[in-house]
Structure 1
Amino acid sequence: MSMEEYILNDVKILKLSDKIGETQDLFNNLTYTHLPVEKSGTYIGCISENDIRCFDADKILEDYQYALEGFFVREDGYWLDILEAFAQNDTNLLPVLDENNLYQGYFEVNDMISLFNETPFLNEAGNILVVEKSFKDYSISEVSQIVETNNGHILGAFVSKIENDVAQITVKTSPTAMTAIIQAFRRYGYNIISEHQEDTFKKNMKDRSKYLDKYLNI
């Protein structure tokens, strides 16, 4: 997939000679968290809206060059890597450089999210299953094997959380054989985090717990 069609140039790149006050006004009229800055025609980093609100309006960007953040992506980058760069840099605008490090424009986060929305993980009918297991004990190949050997097909899977050496894996499967898949995950030592109508295990455990409580209170 070519990413060139998603490169935007609606906002001009700032210069170090631009006044802080004018840049603050520009942020007032935009929804971006960052704006790109150049020096002698070369991209040198982005200035963030949070930082520029603290600067003296009468000064110029060059006076605060130390505050520039030097993140960027390549024009031939993969969309999922670009989406990751948005998250890592906590921004909704990413400058785009070519192989010669020349500024080409910028990507907007909503465009990358729209590409994610077009993937089978989101737009195909299926079931979302969230499981967890020790980080050192799980594997994506095992997750795939459990689903596929129980007549399911994986539409997407990713590690959605890691905490206290426990990995949480979110899996989207074809809308079949959920009961068998859930039971198989338990046999392999996975905890089922998500709630499912097909899952009678938790319901039976709750019913038995209520019965035991009632018995103990007699």
Structure 2
Amino acid sequence: MVAAENEYVGTITEHTLLQQLAQLTGAMGAGALVVIEMEPHQLSISELSKLVETNDAHITQFNTSIHPDTGMLLATLRINKQEISDIVATLQRYDYHVVFFSGEEHYENELRRNYQHLMNFLTM
């Protein structure tokens, strides 16, 4: 960095820059991520918040970007809980295009476990 008088003040290391960027974007926080794609004029933060809160969760981080090729808005939500299958289902029910999500899927795991129990029962 250089001060207004062209005097050397110091540098910002790559590590410090990445650490601050992670803090700013909430990347180090706990919880699940959901990425939704939509037309820019369709964004309603209050509606997204309402839909998430109907599933006993809260949005702890919210970031947006425009996809350079399609012009579509990508909204990234960090949710305060890991199990988000209800939230993803709710967003899809309200015609939101969920592009990506990370977190636990209780239903998928439960369905797999129930299937394994059924297979064990049938082989008896």
TM band (smaller chain) = 0.5 to 0.7
Normalising by the residue count of structure 1, what TM-score does the alignment of the two structures yield? 0.39
Cα distance change, pair 193–158 in 1 and its aligned pair in 2 (3 A):
same
Aligned counterparts, 1:110-189, within 5 A: 110-118=15-23, 121-162=26-67, 163-175=69-81, 178-189=84-95
Higher relative contact order (Cα pairs below 8 Å, separated by 6+ residues): 2
Aligned counterparts, 1:193-204, within 5 A: 193-195=99-101, 197-198=105-106
Aligned residue pairs, count: 103
CA contact (8 A) 1:126 1:174 kept: yes
- Deviation for aligned residue 1:148: 2.4
Aligned to 1:192: 98
- Deviation for aligned residue 1:137: 0.8
Query: CA–CA distance in 2 between the matches of 1:147 and 1:187?
Result: 12
Query: CA–CA distance in 2 between the matches of 1:107 and 1:136?
Result: 37
Query: CA–CA distance in 2 between the matches of 1:130 and 1:181?
Result: 12
Normalising by the residue count of structure 2, what TM-score does the alignment of the two structures yield? 0.63
Query: SS at the partner of 1:124?
Result: coil
- Deviation for aligned residue 1:180: 2.4
Identity of aligned residues (%): 22
Letter of the 1:184 counterpart: T
Query: CA–CA distance in 1 between the matches of 2:48 and 2:14?
Result: 30
Query: CA–CA distance in 2 between the matches of 1:156 and 1:134?
Result: 20
Misfit runs of 4+, over 4 Å: none
Cα distance change, pair 112–161 in 1 and its aligned pair in 2 (3 A):
same
Aligned counterparts, 1:203-214, within 5 A: none
Query: SS at the partner of 2:27?
Result: helix
Cα offsets for 1:165-197 (capped at 9, x unmatched): 311112111125512211221233211111563
Cα distance change, pair 130–167 in 1 and its aligned pair in 2 (3 A):
same
RMSD value over aligned CA atoms? 2.8
